[in-house]
């Protein structure tokens, strides 16, 4: 029996419209836990994260999470697979991913406890801005010049690629755009930070990191966690349809990332990195 969960779940609901009611089928975004395990060549094994996510692109999610937290880069990963341990019930096997490392499991303070994350917030106890300086460099200025026309076209391009949102109305999206405005890749999830992890994981597993000539566009707000993941991936510009948090702006300014919010129609706010905005 195939117990692999899909990105959407079909249910029956009662719909009210005025004084009339009817029963119909509806689609919900699937939300299930994903356990990320690390294994080393000597056989040691550790669980490093349990996150609530929308099933799909799970290997990318694991790779992106590990990269963003500085636990393992693409070159450190030998293989990724769903766990088939006999101690796991069948319904849990597609909710557990094992990442086999080429070397030992990193001895980091973060591994003294599990990263327990949810679909609504980022990693609990995530690294402070000061500690990010130990493993992340400021984003180079580069050749990226963003015109207003380029920015104004991003939300609609992202929305048009959100197949899951169109079906359920409840999935966040992260889209990666080239400097010419081409949508390179898009990922969806109930958690906005998971969507970014999936995108960064895809880039890492396909040897595209760092993403120095790309723009990240996210639905919803921009949090510290999203900016941390963008910084680790070398992304020079992050745009969102809603406002950023104060810590997201502080991170953007300290590390030279262009941060755009309230990007709707033909208006937006530039919170950091305005030097990359190419006005006529």
When comparing pLDDT for 132 and 109, which is higher?
132
Between CA 30 and CA 28 the distance in angstroms is 6
Residue 136 falls in the annotated catalytic set: no
DSSP reduced 3-state for 53: strand
Average pLDDT, the chain: 88
* Concatenated DSSP letters of 8-24: EEEEEEEEEETTEEEEE
Domain boundaries, the chain: 148-276
Q: What is the mean pLDDT of residues 260-274?
A: 95
Q: How many CB atoms lie within 10 A of CB 177?
A: 22
**Beta-strand runs (E) in 201-266:** 214-218, 237-240, 258-264
Residue 216, annotated ligand binder? no
Residue 263, annotated ligand binder? yes
User: For the packed helices 224-232 and 58-68, what is the interaxial angle rounded to 10 degrees?
Assistant: 90
When comparing pLDDT for 237 and 220, which is higher?
237
Between CA 35 and CA 5 the distance in angstroms is 14
The confidence score (pLDDT) of residue 88 equals: 72
* Beta-bridge partner residues of 29: 8
pLDDT in tens, 17-37: 888 999 999 999 899 999 999
Determine which one of 121, 124, 239, 268 is catalytic: 121
Which residue's entry shows tokens 């809603």?
242
Superfamily of domain 148-276: Cytidine Deaminase, domain 2 (3.40.140.10)
Residue 255, annotated ligand binder? no
**Span of 49-58, 90-99, 192-201 with lowest mean pLDDT:** 90-99
Query: Contact 220/240 with Cβ under 8 angstroms?
Result: yes
Residue 265, annotated ligand binder? yes
Q: How many CB atoms lie within 10 A of CB 232?
A: 21
Between CA 257 and CA 231 the distance in angstroms is 8
Q: How confident is the model at residue 206 (pLDDT cuts 50, 70, 90)?
A: very high
The confidence score (pLDDT) of residue 114 equals: 45
pLDDT in tens, 169-196: 768 999 999 999 999 999 999 998 999 9
DSSP reduced 3-state for 48: strand
């Amino acid at each position: 029996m195939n117990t692999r969960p899909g990105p959407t779940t079909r249910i029956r609901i009662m719909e009210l419209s005025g004084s009339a009611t009817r029963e119909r089928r509806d689609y919900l975004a699937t939300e299930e836990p994903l356990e990320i395990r690390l294994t080393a060549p000597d056989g040691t094994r550790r669980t490093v994260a349990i996150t609530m996510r929308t099933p799909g692109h799970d290997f990318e999610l694991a790779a992106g999470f590990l990269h963003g937290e500085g636990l393992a880069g693409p070159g450190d990963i030998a293989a990724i697979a769903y766990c088939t341990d006999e101690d796991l019930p069948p319904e849990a096997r597609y909710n557990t991913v094992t990442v086999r490392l080429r070397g030992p499991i990193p001895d980091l303070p973060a591994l003294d406890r599990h990263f327990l994350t949810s679909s609504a917030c980022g990693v609990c106890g995530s690294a402070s801005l000061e500690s990010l300086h130990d493993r992340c460099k400021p984003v180079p200025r580069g050749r990226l010049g963003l015109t207003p026309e380029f920015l104004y076209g991003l939300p609609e391009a992202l929305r048009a690629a959100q197949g899951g949102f169109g079906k359920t109305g409840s999935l966040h999206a992260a889209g990666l755009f080239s400097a010419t405005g081409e949508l390179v890749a898009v990922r969806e999830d109930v958690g906005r930070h998971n969507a970014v992890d999936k995108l960064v994981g895809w880039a890492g597993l396909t040897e595209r990191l760092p993403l120095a000539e790309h723009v990240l566009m996210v639905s919803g707000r921009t949090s510290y966690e999203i900016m941390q993941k963008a910084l680790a991936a070398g992304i020079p510009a992050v745009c969102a349809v809603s406002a950023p948090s104060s810590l997201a702006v502080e991170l953007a300014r300290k590390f030279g990332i262009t941060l755009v919010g309230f990007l709707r129609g033909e208006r937006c706010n530039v919170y950091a990195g305005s030097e990359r905005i190419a006005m006529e």
